[in-house]
Structure 1
Amino acid sequence: MKKLLYSVLKPLIRAGFFCYYREVRMIGMERVPRDRPVVFLPNHHNALLDPLLIAAYIRGRRPYFLTRSDVFQGGLLEWFFDMLRMIPIYRLRDGRDTLHRNEEIFERCADLLAANGDLLLFPEANHNLKRQVRPLSKGFTRIVLHTLKKYPDTDLHLVPVGFNYQRAAGFPDRVACYFGEALPAEAFLKAGDEQRVSREMKSAVSSRLKQLTTHIPPECDYEATLRELEADSPDWLLPGPINDRLSGHAVEIPTHSNREDGVHKIWDFLFRALNLPAWLLWRWIAANKVWEPEFMSTFRYLFALLAFPLYLGLLAATFALTGAPPQAYWCLPGLFLFNVLYVKFR
């Protein structure tokens, strides 16, 4: 049953992303090994949307996701997350008495990888909207080393993944996901003891992430550097030239317009007016239920996925109850088309 629902949800979520994002780029997926277990290691900006984007677009893969345990609240929600192949991971903030449960999780991950499965986890161990790769946690190295110790013949590979959003908390938005070269996990064992292996692994993954996404070095004044970059209206989906500029090279940065002229403001007004009930409900949710900016796009996407089909259904029911002429029903596909065009060309 869960496999069937997963197979149904994947194209639904992908269709939702088509309607939600102006543009989705998946670059370098051919670098992902086809016949070997893989640990995907992305940077983490955008809460649940980061893993969902990989799950929706990756070809021939059904990865499991390590997810913070506090989202598992039991009952239907826990069943739903399990169906999405999410596995809880326990952190110190969840209570010291919960950390022992991670041993069971590590065992499960090792068994999945040995069976040629795939795993996605976020080596930064937290999310943040900053355009910066944060220090990596050793948690992912513990899972990799435990897998190789328990199943030494496993041909495990690590694939760094860089997420790049034009404006991660905004709408409409654009996103580019870059898949780096696969790193054979066994090669790191040559470093010696586990601590050295862990350091080498973190260093290699971090170095590649800093090439796959924009990385403002920590020694820079972050806010001042960001303002300087934003003054040029950069295309954040192209991190290479931006990182070259940050390294001191005199390179031209590709630009991307934010489209804030009068015509686009009229377009904004029409979008809100035509979707007023759904828009007002979303404004209330955004003001009262979204506790972190990193969750803004996740809530907005899930809201749109549920609310707009319901809104169209309510309009259809209203037409039926009021005896509207058949021509009125053309408003429904017209509104849907208008919303998609707004997302794609606004």
Structure 2
Amino acid sequence: MKYIVNETLRIIVKIALNIYYKNIYVEGKNNIPKGKAILMVSNHQNALIDPLLLATHAGLKPYFLTRASVFGSPFVAKLLDYIQMFPIYRVRDGVKNMEKNQITFDKSVNVLLKKGTMLIFGEGSHSTLRNLRSLKKGFSRIAFQALEKDDALDLVILPVAINYSNHNHSGSNVRISFGEVIDPKEYFPNHDALIKATSASLAPMIVDIPEQSYQEDLQSLIDHKIDLTSPKAVSDFLNHKSSSKRLPKNVKKPYLRNKLMKLFHLPIYWVWLWMSPKVKDIAFIATFKFVIGLVGLPLWYMLLYTSFSTLGHKDWAFSFLFLAVIFLFANKNGQK
């Protein structure tokens, strides 16, 4: 039953993500090994969207570590267990609770010992800033604990990078890049060496905008239509930005299609307007929008069809739904 629920949710979420985003580019899938224990280490910029993208577009069925605070409700805890999430405690959750992390580490190690896949966001927290932050020790700890239990385990570290053209809005682009695997046995038991090697592998795959001039450089990249999902394009532009002061002509923002999409899905948009003031962490904006759409779209379409059909206007129902779907797929948002 658990397997069926998990697979069904995976298919639904993958379809929904491909509707929510204009384009989802996946690079380096040939680097994903088969028949090995895999510890995926990724950057973390977009709250729940990051694990959902990797769970549905990696061709793997990973288990995740997620912050323990979301496991507060027994119902939510059960649901998260169904979708293969383990709780991880932070200092803010209380020093005593930190001891519970060993249970989570043990579960993670057991997944690897069975040649399963674990996904860890190596930075330990999320941030919408486009750069790679320092990696924490958690992933190396799990890798080495697995090797301590089975030194012959065929375990690899798989670096994964996610880059967004716009963190907060639908109709934008995402790029997922898989790097070459790292053999943790080569660094055992040196945590710092494994962390350094993993960071060095991730860095070229992640867009990096210097913090000291972040907003200025970001705006310049947007104005010059540089692809914010491409580390190379961003790096090339920033290295030569002094010679690129002149803005391209006719820089247009794709607002019309987005406005028409909202018009045909007005009740769902109203739900977001009601919810948005409650979202304090900007990294969760896309998560809330996605969940509202995932639940709201089917309900809205069913309500429209039922209402028009009851009034004897099935032709109107089909016409309205046709236009709503057209503008949903045509929705596009610029970079941000």
TM-score (norm 1): 0.89
Query: Secondary structure of the residue that 1:121 maps to in structure 2?
Result: strand
Which whole-Å deviations, capped at 9, do the CAs of 1:264-297 have from their partners, x for residues lacking one?
A: 444333222222222112111112x212110000
Match of 1:283 in 2: 273
The whole-number CA distance in structure 2 between the counterparts of 1:333 and 1:160 is 42
The answer to whether structure 1 residue 19 and structure 2 residue 19 are counterparts is yes
Match of 2:329 in 1: 341
Pairwise CA distance, 1:246: 4.5
Which residue of 229, 235, 239 maps to 2:227?
235
TM-score (norm 2): 0.91
Change (3 A) 1:249 1:279: closer
Query: Secondary structure of the residue that 1:297 maps to in structure 2?
Result: helix
- Contact conserved, 1:312 with 1:332, CA < 8 A, in 2? no
Match of 2:292 in 1: 303
The whole-number CA distance in structure 2 between the counterparts of 1:341 and 1:107 is 43
Change (3 A) 1:339 1:98: same
The one-letter code matched in structure 1 to 2:276 is: A
Aligned length: 332
The one-letter code matched in structure 2 to 1:148 is: L
The whole-number CA distance in structure 2 between the counterparts of 1:76 and 1:339 is 36
Change (3 A) 1:125 1:319: same
The whole-number CA distance in structure 2 between the counterparts of 1:256 and 1:143 is 49
Match of 1:54 in 2: 54
The whole-number CA distance in structure 2 between the counterparts of 1:257 and 1:140 is 47
The whole-number CA distance in structure 1 between the counterparts of 2:219 and 2:258 is 26
Which whole-Å deviations, capped at 9, do the CAs of 1:3-62 have from their partners, x for residues lacking one?
A: 101111111111101111000011111101111010111100000010110111122x21
Query: Secondary structure of the residue that 1:216 maps to in structure 2?
Result: coil
Match of 1:120 in 2: 119
- Contact conserved, 1:233 with 1:257, CA < 8 A, in 2? no
Identity of aligned residues (%): 28
The one-letter code matched in structure 2 to 1:337 is: V
Which whole-Å deviations, capped at 9, do the CAs of 1:214-270 have from their partners, x for residues lacking one?
A: 12345x433333344334221012112323455679999xx9999745xx4443332
- Contact conserved, 1:38 with 1:156, CA < 8 A, in 2? yes
Match of 1:181 in 2: 180
Match of 1:330 in 2: 318
Alignment of 1:118-267 (within 5 A): 118-189=117-188, 194=189, 197-217=190-210, 220-246=212-238, 260=252, 264-267=254-257
Change (3 A) 1:92 1:159: same
The one-letter code matched in structure 1 to 2:123 is: E
The answer to whether structure 1 residue 315 and structure 2 residue 304 are counterparts is yes
Which whole-Å deviations, capped at 9, do the CAs of 1:308-337 have from their partners, x for residues lacking one?
A: 11111111221133232x312313540343
- Contact conserved, 1:64 with 1:87, CA < 8 A, in 2? yes
RMSD between superposed Cα atoms in Å: 2.5
The whole-number CA distance in structure 2 between the counterparts of 1:249 and 1:260 is 21
Which whole-Å deviations, capped at 9, do the CAs of 1:183-234 have from their partners, x for residues lacking one?
A: 0111112xxxx4xx1111111111122111112345x433333344334221
> Which stretch of the first structure deviates more once superposed, 293-302 or 169-178?
169-178
Query: Secondary structure of the residue that 1:99 maps to in structure 2?
Result: helix
Query: Secondary structure of the residue that 2:318 maps to in structure 1?
Result: helix
